[in-house]
Amino acid sequence: DAGITQSPRHKVTETGTPVTLRCHQTENHRYMYWYRQDPGHGLRLIHYSYGVKDTDKGEVSDGYSVSRSKTEDFLLTLESATSSQTSVYFCAIRTGPKDTEAFFGQGTRLTVV
């Protein structure tokens, strides 16, 4: 178990409100990722991080920001939530002997009403 937890696990929020999702890991892995998953689209990369204060955009980064001020925490923020951001959000880290294998958190189910 790579020791990765996401919080909250479920959230309902109103359109226009800010939302922050947290991903916490306990083993000092360098890489951390945020994905969203919607029916028919698979896993789509939002943002990722290589280390503290080192982040980059993925393919669907519009409307999202991230921060990584500590190795163990990677925060995903929706500045002003929209209904199109209703989704399941997965955090992942890279582990394994060559730091190539992804290990996922249990996901956060976000509903924007």
The contact set with another protein (CB under 8 A) reads: 31, 33, 35, 40-43, 45, 48, 50, 56, 58-59, 88, 90, 92, 94, 96, 98, 100-107
Handedness of CA 58, 94, 8, 44 (dihedral sign): positive
- What length is written for the chain? 113
The nearest distance, CB 44 to another protein, in angstroms, is 8
The nearest distance, CB 20 to another protein, in angstroms, is 20
- Identify which of 7, 10, 8, 2 has the alpha carbon closest to the alpha carbon of residue 86: 10
| Closest to another protein by CB, 16 or 96 | 96
Amino acid at 66: V
